[in-house]
Structure 1
Amino acid sequence: MPLTLKMSRKWTDRYALIVLSGLLPVVLGVLIIVWQANRSLKLEATQTAQEAVRQFDLMLDNAALAADVVLPLAGQDCAQVELALREQVTRRPFVRSVNLVWDNQIYCTSLFGNYKEAVNPANYAGGVLWLMPGTIVTPNDPVLVYRQARDKRGALISLYGFHLVNVLGLINHKTQLLISVGDAWIDRYGQVRTTQLPHLPVAQTAVASLEFPYRVIAGFNQGAVWRHVTVEYPGFLGLLIFLGAVSAATVHRLQQRSSSPSSEMQRGLEAGEFIPYFQPVVRGDTKQWAGAEVLMRWQHPTEGLVRPDLFIPFAEHSGLIVPMTRSLMEQTSRLLAPHSSNMGPGFHIAFNIAAHHCHNLELVEDCRRFLEAFAPGHINLVLELTERELIVPTATTHELFSQLHTLGVMIAIDDFGTGHSSLSYLREFNVDYLKIDQSFVALIGVDALSRHILDSIIELSAKLDLGIVAEGVETQEQSEYLAAQGVDFLQGYLFARPMPPGEFIEALRARLTST
């Protein structure tokens, strides 16, 4: 493929002298890369732990707000305040139960009403937090309890354990994370332990919360440095070998083999080789077409149709993804605008955007030109935030999303739960849709844990009043399950594969004729 760097073994056999002359720069280069990899992993572990602390603090802030409301009620008759306790459970995200305490004795809960159980303040780290392995209701699920006390009054707020596990498991799947509260700790597998904290052999770091008595430990398992080197610097050995003495013909041949991916993509962009493919999105209840996601394909002159996973990461890294997306939007508007009468009212057209799109406000003008190509109000433009690179909230990004919403553009989080920080995106950006990653959909009926995570995402979207789209629907069982859960839109091979423009337009006409 044009974006891969290969080194021929026969080349090294025939030109052993060239390989030997390049040995010294190779060794020095590897040492530098290993040092850089350790530095990068340490930074990644620290940033991931900081993000986890931010998300846990957000959960506990909700618990603290609930405690502030109910603490003055402590001491009143349970029958009079039980409804107020349940109201806090309903209103506060992540809160599972609210309990009132008088003189270190639980006497009223949002779950059972009147209830008697002694409270031992010594169980709570700093008198505030207690990480429990379970309760009588869910004996096998971890629970984080927040305590607030004043004189004889007290309030205990318990948080869903699976929210903790979700953050530990989904915030960055490459990083090992655990949260430590007092003598107890928990990792992504959901089991509360009181044993000694494990040692993470690579880039271990600890970040303590400034608001609550807990800390997050992050790091990597053995071998992470080498895996990082092989992923981030796969062609570095070949580049070092170029420093050896080679004949002019060999140098020319190697330069051809190691041509810059960004240069090749720039050439393809100027030649109009990046074209749109369309994958329909259907309504969950009626299965009628509600829109389409526009996917980028590379029609390479010698390699044929190049898969997007081979060039999109390079495009995002180099910044070429911005003009490539602009070209895709222009092509799409030219192709579909003359056929907009074949689309239903409010037909959704979605494009993926990356972190590079958020460095300035040019995307607003791109979207304005796209919408002006269609009759006003006839289509809905959706931008899907990809998470291969983290979109850092800044004044520019906030202004960008504000102007996009003013323009009527809707925002979706693509592959929700699998990228850098979906939960932080929900907090920072005004999101309209969540797209459930196909890895969760694929395990419907197969893996109970993934189904619970899927149900939690659907429940979260309902609480936040967000639309939801399920990707990768391939079986009738998946379709029926998602529809039963109230998922708004479905997308996948069960309904249609990505289509070239001509085939998509013909399918639009055919569906209009059939109706």
Structure 2
Amino acid sequence: MPLTVTGPRKSFTRHSISVLCGLLPILLGVLILHWQAERTLEKSTAQTAQEAVRQFDLMLDNTALAAQELLPLAGQPCDSSAQLALREQVTRRPFVRATTLSWQKNIYCSSLFGSQYESRVNPDDYVDGRLWLMNGNPVTPDTALLVYRLVEGDKAAFASIDGYHLTNALRLISRYANLILQVGPNWLGADGKVRNTQVPVFAVAHHHLASERYRYSVDAGMPAGEVWRYMQDRYPAMFSLVVFFGLLAGVLAHALQKRVTAPTHELQRALGANEFIPYFQPVVRGDTREWAGCEVLMRWKHPKEGLVRPDLFIPLAEECGLIVPMTRALLRQTAAQLAPHAARFSPGFHIGVNITARHCQDLALVDDCREFLAAFPVGQVTLVLELTERELIEPTDITRRLFDALHELGVMIAIDDFGTGHSSLGYLRNFNVDYLKIDQSFVAMIGADALSRHILDSIIELSGKLDLGIVAEGVETVEQCEYLAARGVDFLQGYLFGKPVPSDELIKSLDHQ
């Protein structure tokens, strides 16, 4: 990166710093991976516990419905119609294994034995008189059973869930986490055994969650050492990358120590030499694929290094406060290069330029935009300022006045990379914007990732509800293009329609269009 000049250091110092720079990324990388694994496992166990509660609540909902249906029959004779009703609930309700009726705390009618089975009910066995996690019954001893009891006076109806369903849920909900179901003093593990000892505490990512609807709880967690096992299982490539980048950092540190001049000096020199030039990427209409405009992208044409990528100098320009004069110079060059060819543009041809929080701190941007638009015939072009999110734009009085003045001037505002920045929704609330630009990471997952596709569809739906225009970036395949066009996306941008090119190539492509 051409931002410094040569200046040698002593050999011992240079080697020491190089070794330190090589070791530091490795150590930090391992710590970060360990921290990330811990967070992932904690999040996983929390989600596992939530899913387990959801599953068990669903099972108990079925038992509760069955008990409600059967409660009016309690106290009536255990004849064939009553037995049929008991068996009907077992057949109709998922997860329900058996149903019974009791009168004055005596079970006298069962879906399994009819009137041939009687047993005394001890309400103390049930948590709040409702739930009992028992270790089997005469039919299936040593097999877990979760019994739901519904009482009304002397009448009571029971519905039970087989341990097969309970242990299946405990085993299959999560690949990594261990799960325990606890009802009162009894608890059930994935081995299917009911115990009344103290509930074990997991060494890693222990999460306890109680149901809000029934008196039971679940515990999720992992044994000691699971973090490192998870890292070895999931991050082998990341470990290799950490070591690689550590070695790379050491080598780069060894070379870059010779370069000691402040990078801002090189940026200032390049700005004075007009080395920051505009490149243009076409934007097409989603319905007709006709050109609707272009985005102006800044490039650094260094006399020795050639074209320098913007991600290598734009963040530094923002940090040192040079991004505003660089953008001003970019607008003037763009106007000088495109204004002679304005007659070839369709009326209202969009020209998009990125701005940051630095541009929104005073009203000078209005004058820059007015000067830019004055270079073109009235109505021939529409200037679109795209808000980037490297720095947060605060909704101050100046920013509101600035945006109002820009809209009065006919300038439109777009939120760039919408859906990835932490402030995108805040911008919609605080500023009057005209367009949303969908980040290319969502477009790239069309046809590959269902979650990203749902997010993409939600953004498109949101833009429609807010009556905003929408632009999709990073369109590279026909499948992506057709998907977006079918959902009414207004404008498309990406390599499928053209790469960023200098102005002369843009004009040639425009003539071809």
> TM (normalized to structure 2)?
0.54
Question: Where does residue 453 of structure 1 map in the other structure?
Answer: 455
Question: Where does residue 294 of structure 2 map in the other structure?
Answer: 292
Deviation at 1:3, TM superposition (A): 3.9
Question: Where does residue 324 of structure 2 map in the other structure?
Answer: 322
Deviation at 1:370, TM superposition (A): 0.4
With over 3 angstroms needed to count, the CA separation of the structure-2 counterparts of 1:260 and 1:467, relative to structure 1, is same
Question: Where does residue 344 of structure 2 map in the other structure?
Answer: 342
1:374-400 CA-partner distances (Å, limit 9, x unpaired): 111111110000011111111111111
Question: Quick one: which of 306, 311, 314 aligns to 1:312?
Answer: 314
Q: Report the residue type matching 2:454 in the other structure.
A: H
Q: Report the residue type matching 1:2 in the other structure.
A: P
With over 3 angstroms needed to count, the CA separation of the structure-2 counterparts of 1:388 and 1:6, relative to structure 1, is farther
Contact in 2 for aligned 1:388/1:420 (Cα 8 Å):
no
Question: Where does residue 415 of structure 1 map in the other structure?
Answer: 417
Q: Report the residue type matching 1:264 in the other structure.
A: E
CA distance in 2, matches of 1:197, 1:424: 37
CA distance in 2, matches of 1:288, 1:332: 22
Question: Quick one: which of 432, 435, 439 aligns to 1:433?
Answer: 435
Taking only the aligned residue pairs, the percentage that are identical comes to 64
Q: Report the residue type matching 2:289 in the other structure.
A: K
Contact in 1 for aligned 2:4/2:261 (Cα 8 Å):
no
Deviation at 1:2, TM superposition (A): 1.5
Deviation at 1:263, TM superposition (A): 1.2
Contact in 2 for aligned 1:184/1:195 (Cα 8 Å):
no
Question: Where does residue 507 of structure 1 map in the other structure?
Answer: 509
CA distance in 2, matches of 1:293, 1:510: 18
Question: Where do residues 34-53 of structure 1 align in structure 2 (5 Å cutoff)?
Answer: none
CA distance in 2, matches of 1:197, 1:362: 57
1:78-136 CA-partner distances (Å, limit 9, x unpaired): xxxxxxxxxxxxxxxxxxxxxxxxxxxxxxxxxxxxxxxxxxxxxxxxxxxxxxxxxxx
CA distance in 1, matches of 2:306, 2:494: 24
Question: Where does residue 374 of structure 1 map in the other structure?
Answer: 376
Question: Where does residue 477 of structure 2 map in the other structure?
Answer: 475
Deviation at 1:319, TM superposition (A): 1.4
Question: Where does residue 230 of structure 2 map in the other structure?
Answer: none
CA distance in 2, matches of 1:184, 1:302: 67
Question: Where does residue 387 of structure 1 map in the other structure?
Answer: 389
CA distance in 2, matches of 1:444, 1:17: 51
CA distance in 2, matches of 1:489, 1:197: 48
Question: Where does residue 2 of structure 1 map in the other structure?
Answer: 2
CA distance in 2, matches of 1:483, 1:332: 29
1:266 counterpart SS class:
helix
Deviation at 1:509, TM superposition (A): 2.5
With over 3 angstroms needed to count, the CA separation of the structure-2 counterparts of 1:374 and 1:183, relative to structure 1, is farther
1:257 counterpart SS class:
coil
Deviation at 1:433, TM superposition (A): 0.2
With over 3 angstroms needed to count, the CA separation of the structure-2 counterparts of 1:255 and 1:439, relative to structure 1, is closer
Contact in 2 for aligned 1:389/1:420 (Cα 8 Å):
no
1:27-59 CA-partner distances (Å, limit 9, x unpaired): 9xx9xxx9xxxxxxxxxxxxxxxxxxxxxxxxx
1:349 counterpart SS class:
strand
Contact in 1 for aligned 2:475/2:494 (Cα 8 Å):
yes
Deviation at 1:317, TM superposition (A): 1.3
Question: Where does residue 464 of structure 2 map in the other structure?
Answer: 462
CA distance in 2, matches of 1:487, 1:505: 25
With over 3 angstroms needed to count, the CA separation of the structure-2 counterparts of 1:4 and 1:469, relative to structure 1, is farther
With over 3 angstroms needed to count, the CA separation of the structure-2 counterparts of 1:491 and 1:19, relative to structure 1, is closer
Q: Report the residue type matching 1:316 in the other structure.
A: E
Q: Report the residue type matching 2:12 in the other structure.
A: A
> TM (normalized to structure 1)?
0.54
1:382 counterpart SS class:
strand
Deviation at 1:510, TM superposition (A): 2.8
User: Does 2:401 match 1:399?
Assistant: yes
1:291-319 CA-partner distances (Å, limit 9, x unpaired): 00000000001110111111111111111
Contact in 2 for aligned 1:434/1:461 (Cα 8 Å):
yes
Contact in 1 for aligned 2:351/2:383 (Cα 8 Å):
yes
Contact in 2 for aligned 1:415/1:437 (Cα 8 Å):
yes
CA distance in 2, matches of 1:274, 1:386: 19
Q: Which has the larger radius of gyration?
A: 2
1:273-296 CA-partner distances (Å, limit 9, x unpaired): 000000000000000000000000
Unaligned segments of structure 1, at least 5 residues? 35-139, 141-181, 186-192, 199-222, 242-252
With over 3 angstroms needed to count, the CA separation of the structure-2 counterparts of 1:7 and 1:445, relative to structure 1, is farther
Contact in 1 for aligned 2:385/2:414 (Cα 8 Å):
yes
Deviation at 1:183, TM superposition (A): 7.2
Contact in 1 for aligned 2:14/2:257 (Cα 8 Å):
no
Contact in 1 for aligned 2:383/2:411 (Cα 8 Å):
yes
Contact in 1 for aligned 2:284/2:293 (Cα 8 Å):
yes
Contact in 1 for aligned 2:7/2:258 (Cα 8 Å):
no
Q: Report the residue type matching 2:425 in the other structure.
A: L
The number of aligned residues is: 315
Deviation at 1:254, TM superposition (A): 7.6
CA distance in 1, matches of 2:448, 2:318: 34
Question: Quick one: which of 348, 355, 358 aligns to 1:356?
Answer: 358
CA distance in 2, matches of 1:485, 1:414: 20
1:356-413 CA-partner distances (Å, limit 9, x unpaired): 1011111010000001111111111100000111111111111111111111110000
CA distance in 2, matches of 1:397, 1:197: 49
Q: Report the residue type matching 1:468 in the other structure.
A: I
Question: Where does residue 44 of structure 2 map in the other structure?
Answer: none
Question: Where do residues 8-157 of structure 1 align in structure 2 (5 Å cutoff)?
Answer: 15-16=11-12
With over 3 angstroms needed to count, the CA separation of the structure-2 counterparts of 1:183 and 1:7, relative to structure 1, is farther
With over 3 angstroms needed to count, the CA separation of the structure-2 counterparts of 1:447 and 1:335, relative to structure 1, is same
With over 3 angstroms needed to count, the CA separation of the structure-2 counterparts of 1:394 and 1:302, relative to structure 1, is same
CA distance in 1, matches of 2:290, 2:220: 55
With over 3 angstroms needed to count, the CA separation of the structure-2 counterparts of 1:361 and 1:286, relative to structure 1, is same
Question: Where does residue 490 of structure 2 map in the other structure?
Answer: 488
Deviation at 1:467, TM superposition (A): 0.1
1:311 counterpart SS class:
helix
CA distance in 2, matches of 1:196, 1:273: 59
Contact in 2 for aligned 1:353/1:386 (Cα 8 Å):
yes
CA distance in 1, matches of 2:345, 2:13: 65
CA distance in 2, matches of 1:396, 1:196: 51
Question: Where does residue 165 of structure 1 map in the other structure?
Answer: none
Question: Where does residue 120 of structure 1 map in the other structure?
Answer: none
1:486 counterpart SS class:
coil
Unaligned segments of structure 2, at least 5 residues? 29-172, 174-208, 223-237
